[in-house]
Chains A and B, each alone.
Chain A
Amino acid sequence: MFKNYLKVAFRNLRRHKVYSLINILGLSIGMACFLLIIFYIQFQRSYDNFHENRKNIYQVVRVNMRGEDIDRRVNTGAPLAPLMLENLSGIDKAVRFTCFRGELIGHGEKRFIERHFFFADESVFDVFNFPLNQGDSDTALEDPFSVVITEETAQRYFGDDNPLDKTLTYQLHAKKFDFKITGVLAEVPRNSHLEFDFIASYQSLRAIAGEWFMTKHWDSPTWTYVLLPEGYESGKLEQLLPDFSERHVDKWSFAAVSHELLPLEDVYFRSPGPDIGRSGNSQFLFVLTIISAFILLIACINFMNLSTARSGSRAKEIGLRKVIGAQRPQLVRQFIGESLVNSFLAMILAIFLVELFLPTFNNFIGGELKINLLKNSAYLLTMLLTAFVVGILAGSYPALFLSSFKPVSVLKGRLRSGGSAVLIRKILVVGQFVMSIALIASSVFVFQQINFIKNRELGFNKNQVITIPIRDRSVRERYELLKNKWLQDPNILAVTASSMEPGVTSQNGIEVKTRDADDIDMGIIYVDHDYVRTLEIELARGRDFSKDISTDATQAILVNEAALEVFGWEDGLGQQMELYFKREGKIIPQYQGTVVGIIRNFNFRDLTTPMQPILLKIDRSMFYYTMIRVNSSRLNESINSLKRTWREFQFDYPFEFTFLEDDMNNVYRNTDNFAAVTRYGTFWAILISCLGLFGLASFSVEKRTKEIGIRKVLGASVPGLIRLINIDFLRLVALANIAAWPLAYYAVIRFLQYFAYRISIQIWVFLLAGGVAILVSLFTVSFQALKAARANPVDTLRYE
């Protein structure tokens, strides 16, 4: 019997080529998009799942509290882990990671600036699963100045030589340290939120960063993870943390400090930052899941609609089969079977499409996805399951519908396409267009928002600014000379330096005491003269820092307008302030200064954060970036000139540069990817919908051939006929708009919550989405209608 079904299924495919092509192609495109997105989601969800202890590993989060303000951060400082191990029971192991992001590592002539050089406690290999290909993970990080590196890194420094026991020189500021390579790491899985090329023994840091760093520095780029015993409730430990933190942890100026534990499986999506490595956005994944489900559903609906629309031509077969002894369950099975055949054929095609789409898709998502469909059992299972579910889902309605035909009515030729079938088909078409229109509108909004963010008036000019990191004290000390030399080239318009790269990295924090209040928490950017001028920040009142006033270098302060509000000043000029840190309750004075100028607010953080108050103060020791405004028409010459001069200075560090604008756009990479995937999904969803509509229209036209012929004989014009055929479909699409708009509205509101600065939701986007849908369906249907309307009525009528 089954063979019989298969035969009929295949012969049906062959006999109705256009129909089958539409059906299977639509389904396979839908499946391919669905699979790509699902694989991407699966990949994202798989972060850190390769650690055996994943259920018992936690990232430690520091919680700073001041009144209502609660600030969570995961750079805990080096002192935390030993204190936790000493004072809290119920912790098996703790690991610290410290990473300065940009040390100069060398071997002989080969020198690279490394962004992923981690220091970690020995326990790292007990807690996490990072196996070594060479070396012994029990002892590799035992001695100070031992380091393990990844295969890839080894290749970079040593080529094909065995790196074991070789030496790498580590350079931070002017100090150099030799590390011995004690192990080579197996490839670190791509779905690890920890991303490193080197892991060096933590004890090395005592020599490199000093005792203070190890025991007193609570704000260093150090992340802490703990391993709890199997089955131990993290809640029990968390109860002890407030008391522990109160007793042992430096509060700075906060009212209270505590710690929380973030399960490893949540770190990738929910870690409050600053991120140690990769991070993701689960909100986006949620939206992507919906998009992928939409696409698949749209494809399934096509399938159902085309099958039932075609029921007329299957009716005879069904009636006959019943006459010669088929019973309903057998027919249901036959049609589900056929649907499964189609679905699996579509899946096979989809596999090729996935391969075909993957490069483009990877472009959108930043090249994360590597798909080896046949080797990865999870992917394979997903595919089989998808094909199966789609087959059943898409086949069930046609199966039930078709198998219900009464043989007599079919054979007597009295089968009218039942009212309910037509109604259901209409509902399905509406549903399809609801999804498509919602997708169009949402993707336009997402696109608008991202453009809005990127082109927003920032309060400074990010264009034509080149950023060069200052990674080393030796560079910092000669910055002034470098600057002057650079400025000799007329293409280099302005040079400044600061502690942060605006829109990319974060500001420092400091406590402020004014005449009226103390312990005011403020953001501060340490800058060079010319900062305001280089970035083209607008000065509201007062004056900029000036080279001619010698006290400016130590005492002058600029504040923005938002800061004025915080201080409660009307004018602000001439106000005195004391700047200090608070450590372990003690005040550590830093600067005294006078406000000499008020600048307009500018977005020194990315635009998911609102405008904040800020102080600008000159401090040469805090320069980490130099920013250079260059002549836009002489970009290449400018860069060459910067490079030449850099080389002349013979720094240990090689010349490197980025464009400020690129760096800032990189911050929105996740959002960009998301938007791209949304657009991609939308495109295919519309295409699949149209494919379905095309098929439906062709059947509708076929069924109405006679009517069209008669109308034409009676004198109907071709445009009139096209209108007649279109009007049915247009009504449906128009109806779909009404349902789609609220859906899109809701989705967009949710998406926009992620941003501090949002576009306003404009009606025309909805109208546009509806218009696009109507236009596209008009084209599709008219194509079919035209064919029928132009046919000679004598030919069409003779059929009957």
Chain B
Amino acid sequence: MIKLVDITKYYSSGYVKTFALRDINLEVKEGEFMTVMGPSGAGKSTLLYILGMLDTPSSGEYHFFDQKVHRLSEKQLSELHKNHIGFVFQSYHLIDDLTVYENLETPLLYKKVKGAERKSKVAEMLDRFQVVAKKDLFPNQLSGGQQQKVAVARAVITNPKLILADEPTGNLNTKEGQEIMELFKELNEEGTTIIQVTHSEKNASYGRRIVNLLDGWIVD
């Protein structure tokens, strides 16, 4: 599904280049549940953003199914991104001015999903993630765990093939974190490919494969 060849990413400020990723070669199969681990600053987030097509590598090749992602224009990238990828962040990152319902609805609006279908999809998600009662609340009226649930629901609502989660439980207590991980597991069992970043060995155990990053290198 995903094949990275010699992916390098650096940031240059003045004459200094900061490498976030160096010569990354990685393959991910459809249906995998992969965990990326490593210390802070290792390049985990950068890798996830590149996989999510929100950022572009400095060099190297990125194949997504049969698409050469590194060759695509910004517009094509965002098209591909919007159709196949869901993203979950460490801090829950919901749109503050929209209610839970509207936050869930928005990706569907951008995908131009028709009204009736949209309604039933949102209802389905509210139900599945057990936030029906909260649907008219704004993000700041929810607990962290509830917000992250909504964020996962929003990532899932468009039926993405790939879910990228950057420390999704980082700001949650143990119980909340566990709930989220259970959700991921469920999704993975239904066939969604999941790549998560975490510091927790326990969370990593939900996945079947671990990739370790250190200073931009993959170390195994």
Chain A residues in the interface with B (C-beta under 8 A): 1, 4, 7-8, 11-12, 15, 316-317, 320-327, 330, 406-408, 411-412
Contact = CB atoms under 8 A, between A and B. Distances in A.
A242 B114 CA distance: 77
Given A8-B97, A408-B49, A324 B106 contact: yes
Given A321-B106, A330-B110, A408 B54 contact: yes
Nearest to A15: B97
A326 B98 CA distance: 15
Contacts of B79: 327
What 5 A-B pairs come out closest when comparing CB atoms?
A325-B82, A325-B110, A11-B97, A324-B107, A408-B55
B69 to A, nearest CB: 15
Contacts of A324: 82, 87, 106-107, 110, 154-155
A318 to B, nearest CB: 10
Given A15-B97, A317-B96, A317-B97, A325 B45 contact: no
Contacts, number: 65
Contact of A411 (B89, B102, B107): B89
Given A323-B87, A327-B82, 13 more contacts: A1-B109, A4-B98, A4-B106, A4-B109, A8-B95, A11-B97, A12-B97, A15-B97, A321-B110, A324-B87, A324-B107, A327-B110, A408-B54
Contacts of B54: 322-323, 406-408, 411
B107 A325 contact: yes
Contacts of B200: none
A341 to B, nearest CB: 13
Nearest to B90: A411
Contacts of B109: 1, 4
Contacts of B155: 324
A8 to B, nearest CB: 5
6 contacts: A4-B98, A4-B106, A11-B98, A12-B97, A323-B93, A407-B54
B71 interface: no
A7 B154 contact: no
Contacts of B106: 4, 321, 324
Given A324-B107, A327-B75, A7 B102 contact: yes
A545 B86 CA distance: 105
A411 B82 contact: no
Contact of B78 (A1, A7, A316, A327): A327
B167 interface: no
Interface in B143-166: 154-155, 158
Contacts of B78: 322, 325, 327
A326 B107 CA distance: 8
B105 A4 contact: yes
A4 B102 contact: yes
A11 B102 CA distance: 13
A15 B140 CA distance: 13
Nearest to A10: B97
B185 interface: no
A406 B52 CA distance: 13
A118 to B, nearest CB: 66
Interface string B44-58: 010001001011000
A316 B93 CA distance: 8
Nearest to A329: B75
A412 B45 contact: yes
B5 to A, nearest CB: 21
Contacts of A407: 54
A1 B113 CA distance: 10
A15 B95 CA distance: 13
Nearest to B48: A408
B62 to A, nearest CB: 15
B199 interface: no
Name the residue in B79, B87, B110 with the highest tally of chain A Cβ atoms < 10 Å from its Cβ.
B110
Contact of A320 (B95, B111, B158): B95
B45 A321 contact: no
B93 A320 contact: yes
A341 B111 CA distance: 24
B144 to A, nearest CB: 16
A601 B17 CA distance: 85
Interface string B102-120: 1001110111000000000
B134 interface: no
A307 to B, nearest CB: 15
A15 B97 CA distance: 8
B158 A325 contact: yes
A8 B155 CA distance: 20
Nearest to A8: B97
A326 B106 CA distance: 9
A310 to B, nearest CB: 13
B95 A317 contact: yes
B81 interface: yes
Name the residue in B49, B105, B154 with the highest tally of chain A Cβ atoms < 10 Å from its Cβ.
B49
Contacts of B82: 324-325, 327
Given A324-B110, A327-B78, A411 B93 contact: yes
A321 B87 contact: no
Contacts of B154: 324
A407 B164 CA distance: 15
Interface in B1-54: 45, 49, 52, 54
A330 to B, nearest CB: 7
A714 to B, nearest CB: 26
Given A323-B87, A324-B154, A325-B82, A8 B98 contact: yes
Contacts of A8: 95, 97-98
Nearest to B82: A325
A326 B110 contact: yes
Contacts of B94: 320
Name the residue in A320, A406, A407 with the highest tally of chain B Cβ atoms < 10 Å from its Cβ.
A320
Contacts of B95: 8, 317, 320-321
Nearest to A12: B97
Name the residue in A15, A322, A408 with the highest tally of chain B Cβ atoms < 10 Å from its Cβ.
A408
A316 B92 CA distance: 11
Contacts of B75: 327
Nearest to A413: B91
A800 to B, nearest CB: 15
Contacts of A1: 109
Contacts of A330: 110
Contacts of B107: 324-325
Nearest to B104: A324
B97 to A, nearest CB: 4
A325 B111 contact: yes
Nearest to A4: B109
B123 to A, nearest CB: 18
A12 B98 CA distance: 10
B161 to A, nearest CB: 14
A412 B50 CA distance: 13
Nearest to A407: B54
Contacts of A412: 45
Contacts of B55: 406, 408
Contacts of A12: 97
Contacts of B102: 4, 7
B98 A7 contact: yes
B34 to A, nearest CB: 20
A323 B97 CA distance: 17
A7 B45 CA distance: 32
Contacts of B49: 408
A323 B87 CA distance: 7
B91 to A, nearest CB: 9
A415 to B, nearest CB: 14
B81 A325 contact: yes
Contacts of A316: 93, 96
A215 B105 CA distance: 87
Name the residue in A1, A325, A407 with the highest tally of chain B Cβ atoms < 10 Å from its Cβ.
A325
Nearest to B164: A323
A157 to B, nearest CB: 67
Contacts of B111: 325
A12 B155 CA distance: 24
